[in-house]
Amino acid sequence: MVFKLKKSEFNHFSELTNEWWLKNGKFKTLHDIQPIRINYIQDVLSKKQLNNIKILDLGCGGGLVSEGLSKLGANVTGIDFVKENIEAAKIHSHKSNLKINYKTQDFEKEEISSKFDVIIIFEVLEHLFDWKSFILKIQSNLNTNGVLIISTINKNLISKFLTIDLAENFLKWIPYNTHNYYKFIRPKELEFFLIKNNFHNINFKGLRFDPFKRKWILNKNTNVNYFCSCVLN
């Protein structure tokens, strides 16, 4: 299986670790969409209580989503391959009096021993060389009827322009050199793969920025950023 990150991408994310909890820093966009992400997860889980639900936040970065779910009562494990990200996440969760199981682990190469009710993979797949092999690998970590929740970027000229040319290179909303267009994933491609590998109840939601209201909203348009949720048979 070949799904490792380039060393340059590892260095890229390592250099950004001090920015995670700066609301107007380089991860401002992630702070802006944080409520949408948490609400989306709750909607997928049918608004049920998250108490004692075991959730794996894979590629957790500095812990934004992990903390959001922990505050709702979930039993959260956050894994990231960048040691400095996990250190930043641990420091902030300690300040917030939250008990989150953070681990530094190369989840592409090392096995994850536990099983979970929910696995979240936000903004990770589009950084891998082989996202299909990666999903097959972590599939064994889902309990029966476990839920997989993904966010990633569609692959088309619109997404390239808005995500890389505009948001990354011009507006600087996203740290420079974060994305590679050739790694973007079309929803139909993702859906076909999930169906083929025993996932069902596959649903998509689009995420877009409304320039007039100056805020992010969920809708049915998956042309650029989108969420996908599914259940393992």
Q: What confidence score (pLDDT) does residue 16 get?
A: 60
Q: Are strands 116-122 and 101-104 parallel, antiparallel or unpaired?
A: unpaired
Number of neighbours of residue 205 by Cβ within 10 angstroms:
19
Topology of domain 7-232 in CATH is: Rossmann fold (3.40.50)
Closest of 107, 93, 103, 104 to residue 65, by C-alpha: 93
The amino acid at 13: F
Compute the mean pLDDT over every residue in the chain, rounded to the nearest whole number. Answer: 89
CA distance 101 to 85: 14
Look up residue 157 and give its two tokens. 């000229």
Q: What confidence score (pLDDT) does residue 7 get?
A: 47
> Which residue in this structure is represented by tokens 């689009």?
206
| First-residue to last-residue Cα distance in the chain | 24
pLDDT in tens, 56-115: 999 999 999 999 999 999 999 999 999 999 999 999 999 999 999 999 999 888 999 899
Boundaries of every domain in the chain: 7-232
Please state the φ and ψ torsions of residue 100, each to the nearest 5 degrees: -125, 135
HSE (CB half, 13 Å, CA atoms) of 71?
14
Helix (H, G, I), strand (E, B) or coil at 90: helix
Q: What confidence score (pLDDT) does residue 4 get?
A: 45
Helix (H, G, I), strand (E, B) or coil at 203: strand
pLDDT by residue for the chain (233 residues), tens only, comes to 333 444 455 454 445 667 899 999 888 989 999 999 999 999 999 877 788 899 999 999 999 999 999 999 999 999 999 999 999 999 999 999 999 999 999 988 899 989 999 999 999 999 888 999 999 999 999 999 999 999 999 999 998 887 878 777 677 777 766 778 889 999 999 999 999 999 999 999 999 988 888 899 999 999 999 999 999 99
